Amino acid sequence: MTGRIFLKLITAATALLLLVAASVDFFTTEITRESYIDNLRQQLSEKARMLALSLPLDRESSPQLVRGLAEAAGGRVTLVATSGKVLADSDADAARMENHRSRPELIQAFHGKVGWSERLSATLGIPFLYVAVPVSGGAIRIAVPLSEINRQVHEIRFKILASTALAFLPALLLAALLARILSRRFTEITSYAAQLARGNFRARLKRPPSREFGMLAETLNDTAGNLQHTVEQLEREHAELEKLERVRKDFVINVSHELRTPLASIQGYTETLIDGAINDPAHNMRFLSIIRHNAERLARLTEDLLTLSRVEQKRQKFEFEMHFVNDLLRDALELVQPMAEKREVQLKLDPAPEDATVWCDSEAVSQVLSNLLDNAIKYTPAGGTITVGGSPQGQFMEIFVRDTGIGIPPEDVPRLFERFYRVDKARSRELGGTGLGLSIVKHLVAAHDGTTRVESRVNHGTTFFFTLPQDEPVAGHSLNPEFTAS
């Protein structure tokens, strides 16, 4: 490709140079010849005038004298009478020469002007430049052969051609260099455009020093940048959609699975009872209590799913009010006190400043705290301690629930707030968990413009943190309009 472009450019440059050389040759030859003849005409007319002064125009003009004068003048000298009769000629026998009345240069001289003409001599048969000046009784004419003029013009022409050829060589080399640079640039740009056409938008063209190519490279690079940006954005959107679709499918699978287990259990034990076990006092009560346990589990599951969907779809009605933080914490501890006692876990309050308030829906915060405390109690062995407290963090109040329980492995932490995610499925189920508690926490906190995070060390304990605004938000500012579901 580079070779082809180079060949085209160099051919065009050579043709252009040849054309320039030919026209230089033509015009300079013409101009030189013209100015040379002009000059010569002037000189000859000067000489003729001089001769006219010194040479009387009569029949006695001896051929020797005319020849001597011709030699001194450097040309052929002819004396012609007004009648056209040649009186003397330095190069020919005047007596044998025809009447010169009709010679153009002499016609002009007989009219009192300096006459000249360029033509073939009828006497000598070679081309001459004739210049004639009037004298009394006729005219004096000096002629020089044109062959001499032509020789000199050719000499000058040869010199001009030689110097043109000399200049032609470096010009050709320069043209070759330029053609090489241009062909390379064209090839670079063409192959870059081909890369773009193949969809490789990451490649960038090096900016060449020349302005035009530089601007072209910049425009192409900008185009590639825009395309790359658009493609990346589309890829991101595509990945996001795929992720949402995966989440949706997982959710449907999880819900069906979570419902199927207790339903199958209820169905199985009911059939067993109907088939006669109802009359078996040794088992009937145990079977009924299993049925009740699974029914409760189903009720809790559907309740949690409904809450989650309401909050996610922003259909949950919140009643935001100012509340003292410590009141909320104390109420939450009171609610779980019986469960903590049963599990032999100690509950402690690390109070926030007494007058500290939060702008929240107390029902929602109570649910958040009870979910976190429920987990803390469930995953803390007997003898452990659970502490709740709060501390102001800028415009927010950060509330924490700390336990001295089993902890969470670091690899599980990032997925903890996903729906149905449980570190130990069997253990969670055994403890009556649905895996929706933390997901609900996250959404309820987000609806308050707050954030949720967790710190945990396996076998040492876990602390969950969440934030709530300390003050009512500025009017018109909706509470966390962009929180996302997971």
Residue 423 binds which of ligand ATP, Mg ion, none (CB < 5-8 A, kind-dependent): ligand ATP
Number of residues that bind ligand ATP (CB under 6 A): 23
Q: Is 384 in the site for ligand ATP (CB under 6 A)?
A: no
- Pick from 367, 375, 456, 462 the residue near Mg ion by CB under 5 A: 375
- CB 374 to Mg ion: min, Å: 5
- Asked if 386 contacts 348 with a C-beta cutoff of 8 angstroms, the reply is yes
Euclidean distance between CA atoms 9 and 175, whole angstroms = 8
Nearest to 145 by CA among 195, 185, 189, 91: 91
Contact with ligand ATP (CB under 6 A) among 73, 376, 444, 446: 376
How does 456-480 read in b/e, with b if 16+ C-beta sit within 10 Å? beeeebbbbbbbbbbeeeeeeeebb
Stretch that binds Mg ion, among 156-164, 256-264, 349-357, 437-445 (CB under 5 A): 437-445
**Which pair of tokens denotes residue 243?**
């992720």
Closer CB to ligand ATP, 398 or 403, in the complex: 403
3-state secondary structure of 142: strand
> Which among 19-27, 57-65, 303-311, 434-442 is the span making contact with Mg ion, rule CB under 5 A?
434-442
Q: Which is nearer to Mg ion, 139 or 386 (CB)?
A: 386
Stretch that binds Mg ion, among 288-296, 320-328, 409-417, 432-440 (CB under 5 A): 432-440
3-state helix, strand, coil in the chain (%, to 5): 55, 15, 25
Cβ contact 66:58 at 8 Å: no
23: amino acid identity, one letter: S
Nearer to Mg ion, 234 or 299 (CB): 299
Element at 118 (helix H, strand E): strand 115-120
- CB-CB neighbours of 446 under 10 Å: 20
Binding residues among 402-441 for ligand ATP as defined by CB under 6 A: 403, 405-406, 408, 416, 421-424, 428, 433-439
Question: Residue number with the shortest CB distance to ligand ATP?
Answer: 437
Whether 52 and 77 have beta carbons less than 8 Å apart is answered as no
- Binding ligand ATP (rule: CB under 6 A), the pick from 192, 379, 396, 465 is 379
Instruction: Please give the structure tokens belonging to residue 175.
Output: 């043209």
Is the Cβ of residue 146 or residue 438 nearer to ligand ATP in the bound state?
Answer: 438
Q: Which of 115, 384, 437, 469 binds Mg ion (CB under 5 A)?
A: 437
Report how far residue 110's alpha carbon sits from residue 104's, in angstroms, rounded to the nearest whole number.
Answer: 10
**Cα distance between residue 361 and residue 434, in whole Å:** 24
Q: How many residues interact with Mg ion (rule CB under 5 A)?
A: 2
Q: Which does 55 bind (CB under 5 to 8 A by kind): Mg ion, ligand ATP, none?
A: none
User: Cα separation of 82 and 407, whole Å?
Assistant: 140
Applying CB under 5 A, does 434 fall inside the site for Mg ion? Answer: no
32/371 with CB nearer ligand ATP? 371
DSSP H/E element including 368: helix 362-378
Instruction: For residue 253, give the amino acid letter.
Output: I
- Judged by beta carbon, residue 461 or residue 469, the one nearer ligand ATP is 461
**Region 438-477 residues binding ligand ATP, contact defined as CB under 6 A:** 438-439, 462
What residues from 267 to 306 belong to the interface with ligand ATP (CB under 6 A)?
304
Which part of the chain contacts Mg ion (CB under 5 A), choosing from 145-153, 320-328, 392-400, 436-444? 436-444
Which residues does 458 contact at the CB level (< 8 Å), separation at least 6?
Answer: 406, 407, 408, 409
Where do contacts with Mg ion occur on this chain (CB under 5 A)?
375, 437
Where do contacts with ligand ATP occur on this chain (CB under 6 A)?
304, 371, 375-376, 379, 403, 405-406, 408, 416, 421-424, 428, 433-439, 462
